[in-house]
Chain A
Amino acid sequence: MKPTRVLTNPTAETHMRSRRRNTELALLLMAVVVILAAYILASLGRLAEIPANIVPFLIVILGLLLVAHVATRRLAPQADPVLLPLAGLLNGFGYVFIARLDEDLAGLQATWTLLGVGAFIATLLVVPRTRWLEQYRYTLMLVGIGLLVLPLVPIVGQEINGARIWVSLGPINFQPGEFAKIAFAIFFAAYLVEKRELLAMSSRRFLGMAFPEARHLGPILVAWSASLLVMVAEKDLGSSLLFFTLFVVLLWVATERSSYLVMSLIMFAGGSLISYNRFGHVRQRVEVWLEPFGDPLGDGFQVTQAAFALADGGLTGTGLGVGSPNTENIPAVETDFIFAIIGEELGLMGTTAVLVAFMLMIGGGLRIALVAERPFEKLLATGLTTLLGFQAFIIIAGVIRVLPLTGVTLPFVSYGGSSLLANWVLLALLLRISDDTANRRAEAAAAQLAEASPVSA
């Protein structure tokens, strides 16, 4: 009886479905216009000519974003309509700057974007329901750990620029850590949903807070040690901070116990202190942060040059493609420091636009978490959004000296295949949760409607 009832109101459902997707389409077209304009201006600024490949460029970005759009229309029709256009905008925006900096990298980044959109569609296909992910939690944990330690394996693991986070398989280099973080987000969400009641049980109170039993501290200790290990063995401060934050945030949201937050902060402080005293690469970052002009041509070169680039940008920027050649010489300007050249060429206006884009993505992601009904979906959406938003925060904060520099990529914007692929997968998972929730609501609403108005058959 019920299924037929659901189908009695198909127009309303398709109407809502198409309205969300139409919004997405309109926003995507706006993003394409912005990216195209930026691409032309960058070429005009740098070479004083309209780019020769303007038509193929337009076809490729329009094609890629439309394919992604059609995929969501088919595979996640009820999903949030804002996230995909924002991701497309940031990805295209980043591409414009990469193309402006290095044409060879631009070709590769275009390929990575293609693969990223492919991974996005594949994720939507492979994960038809979020519940499916929950079943594989321990497999994903093992995959996550495997990916995390892979760079430490001799022969395949590579140390590049002082961080051992690369894996080299034949011609392909990638950073497995980028994928590990998603695996961990899924695992943590599933694990915490299962254990949250246990973990939330308190045995004693102290300073007005309920503290859990000692044996339940195990998971935090494991996460804490794992992130310390990443920092020490792989010298990857950014990922280390990201993993720990991810776990603590999810633990706190799942258990609703502030005591976990306090304990984590204490452990974080302790870990930081130990690292500062024991490890040169950590101390160096902190010293540069505190005293950037202490060694402006040595350790402080990257951040001081970034500050000079941002200062040259001022309010409105020097203009796309016409920044100082010095900026092109900032180490990692295509990857971790891409924010510096955005700030130089587009000024405070441009950097603020990027901040707003990320804030809208965070808002969109957390809204998905809020409306999600199943705890696993709530936690997973929270975790994925935290990964995206916090990663953007720590790298921008590092570039502009709000925090010591921890080298991670700026999601969707920086050059880098692993990062781009991982973030497109992350986006697909968020959309999948959003679509699931909307579907379930629609079903529930239809069921309610059916029961409220018994029709005489």
Chain B
Amino acid sequence: MNRHIRILGIALMVCFIALFVQLNRIQLVDQEELQDNPNNFRKIERNFSRDRGSIFTSDGTIVATSIEVDHDLERERLYPEGELYAHATGFFSFQFGADGLERQYNDELAGQTTGQRFESFADLFRDTDTTANVTITLDHGVQQMAREALGDRKGSVVALDPRTGDIIAFWSSPSYDPGLLGSVDLDAALAFWTELDGSARGEDPRLPRMYREIFFPGSTFKVVTAGAALQAGVATMSEPVFAEVVEYVAPLTSLPLRNFAGNVCGGDMLESLRRSCNTAFAELAAEIIGPGPMIETAEAFGFNDTPPIDLPAAAASNFPDDFGIQVNETDGDPPVPIVENTPALAQAGIGQNDVKATPLQMALVAAGIANGGIIMEPHLMQEIRDQQGVLVDEFEPAVWRSPLSSANANILRSAMVTAATSGTAVGLQVGGFEVGGKTGTAQVDAARPDETHAWIIGFGGPPGEDPTVAIAVVVEAVPDGVQQTGGAVAAPVAQAVLRAALQASAGS
């Protein structure tokens, strides 16, 4: 019997070794795979239940914070300002993950960066609160003004400091209350989410239109075209002089391109910019600048690239990067190649065709012109400090693009000041400050000329000094609505926000 008892012993040992092997598989080899299994909510739950720092504006307004609640999930995310900062903070939800700053700075807020977790060797043995608070560059007063000025209309407002890239106002409408998604009332959160999912494309309040949606920039793009001409050295503010015409027919097409409202428009580049002549800028782009320099300058301003903003999934603005092969050339000096898609290039020169930009991108165009041709990296985070006040991270201003020489930037800047003094952008004037601007009225569809996005970009600052605020506003077209021009519709919004921002920056 002893031999059989020994065999039994060996058999049982083999059974236990099998258990040991399987335990190694589950606990070590497949550990990560199991933790990332879509049915495994532990990671999310841990993250959600963990203590989490707050988000404050630069003036100390609490934008997002966590409180302990009597619930299995232990904590709930609160957004005391409701919808006002939704597109900056994003949301932090048990069921739907996180977006916006909540996502971008998740590890810092939750105290999970390596630096926060192991500040010193002693931290390994201490249960310290490692969470951190994020201070953002937005100004509560300016942000509120943006919401108030835009009202119920769909649109976006982006204001930033061109010298540093600090974003001062970041509002798009419609918005939503992220607190409804951060609630531990999971059924209510799901119902709200489902309701939002049902909204039509372009109507979803979760969409941060200012950096994830692109629109025809229309005439605001003319400053880019003008910049291309200056950079290429093919035009100055006074040379050449464009004919006073109603329409312009580009080479290789017979379809005329008209001025706004069928007006007669022309003059030198300064005059054309002041009056926003489509005919002049179409001709400038198609026959004087040509495709190469147009693409080069548009891309130098940041088109066809994602702006380095500290938010997830920012959209790239679009400028066509190929207008086809050369078929002819102009008789100018130097001659400009005429390419297959020169008619498209003419449209692109006035911000139509395939040109589409986020409001953030157009604010950066204004900022680059205001800041001597240098575009700084746009950002929301100012600094991150842990609960003991120790600095975790701090934003260091950095150059993103340099599309213009400082001389050309200053030329363009004074042209925009002219447009805001006696041109289409006079609505932007703020008493006591030097303000420049450029309006845009972009048709959404040629068949429906009254459906237009009303645009304005601009900047302002103390007279004789560098501008301290750059701004872009778009009020979106209303289907079957009345025509909205940049000067009449977007300018008052931008003016109110610009004034608030200038006063805030002058006061501080």
Contacts and interface: CB of A to CB of B under 8 A. Distances in A.
A2 B389 CA distance: 88
B201 interface: no
A81 to B, nearest CB: 19
Nearest to A366: B9
Contact of B9 (A304, A315, A363, A375): A363
Interface in A279-333: 293, 296-297, 304, 307-308, 310-315, 324-326
Contacts of A116: none
A402 interface: yes
Interface in A381-407: 382, 386, 389-390, 393, 396-397, 400-402
Contact of A324 (B5, B31, B45): B45
Q: How large is the interface on B (under 10, 10 to 19, 20 to 34, 35 or more residues)?
A: 35 or more
Nearest to A375: B1
A304 B35 contact: no
A355 B26 contact: no
Contacts of B31: 311, 314
Contact of B12 (A48, A347, A362, A369): A362
Given A253-B4, A311-B26, A402-B22, A326 B41 contact: yes
Contacts of B35: 308, 311-312
Given A358-B16, A375-B1, A311 B8 contact: no
B388 interface: no
A347 B30 CA distance: 14
A313 B4 CA distance: 38
B2 interface: yes
B120 interface: no
B143 to A, nearest CB: 38
Contacts of B127: 48
Most buried by A among B15, B16, B27, B127: B27
A333 to B, nearest CB: 15
B34 A389 contact: no
Interface string B17-49: 011101110111011101101011110011001
Contact of B19 (A297, A311, A355, A378): A355
Most buried by B among A48, A252, A253, A343: A253
B6 interface: yes
A355 B17 CA distance: 9
B72 interface: yes
Interface string B406-447: 000000000000000000000000000000000000000000
Contacts of A366: 5-6, 8-9, 12
Most buried by A among B2, B9, B35: B9
Nearest to B4: A253
Nearest to A390: B12
B190 interface: no
A451 interface: no
A369 B23 CA distance: 30
Most buried by A among B16, B24, B28, B31: B16
B19 A402 contact: yes
A366 B18 CA distance: 20
Contacts of B3: 256
B19 A382 contact: no
Interface in B183-223: none
A60 to B, nearest CB: 30
Given A293-B39, A362-B9, A393 B20 contact: no
A382 B6 CA distance: 10
B4 A256 contact: yes
A362 B1 CA distance: 17
Given A308-B34, A355-B19, A390-B12, A313 B42 contact: no
B23 A307 contact: no
Interface in B43-65: 45-46, 49
A435 B84 CA distance: 80
B503 to A, nearest CB: 50
Contact of A343 (B9, B27, B49): B27
A370 B27 contact: no
Interface string A342-368: 010001100110010011001100100
A382 B8 CA distance: 9
A396 B8 CA distance: 19
Contacts of B16: 355, 358-359, 362, 393
A450 B4 CA distance: 35
B8 A297 contact: no
A375 B18 CA distance: 31
Contact of A314 (B6, B27, B72): B27
B13 interface: yes
B470 to A, nearest CB: 48
Contacts of A352: 20, 23
B39 A400 contact: no
A249 interface: yes
A254 interface: yes
A326 B45 contact: yes
A393 B1 contact: no
A392 to B, nearest CB: 8
A312 B1 contact: no
A382 B5 contact: yes
A370 B1 CA distance: 8
A297 B13 CA distance: 34
20 contacts: A253-B1, A296-B39, A308-B42, A310-B26, A311-B26, A314-B28, A314-B31, A324-B45, A343-B23, A348-B28, A355-B19, A355-B23, A359-B12, A359-B13, A363-B9, A369-B5, A378-B5, A382-B8, A386-B8, A400-B26
Given A308-B37, A311-B26, A325-B45, 19 more contacts: A307-B34, A308-B34, A310-B26, A314-B31, A324-B42, A343-B27, A348-B27, A352-B23, A359-B12, A362-B9, A362-B12, A363-B9, A375-B1, A379-B1, A389-B12, A390-B12, A393-B19, A397-B18, A402-B19
Interface of A: 48, 249, 252-254, 256, 293, 296-297, 304, 307-308, 310-315, 324-326, 343, 347-348, 351-352, 355, 358-359, 362-363, 366, 369-370, 375, 378-379, 382, 386, 389-390, 393, 396-397, 400-402
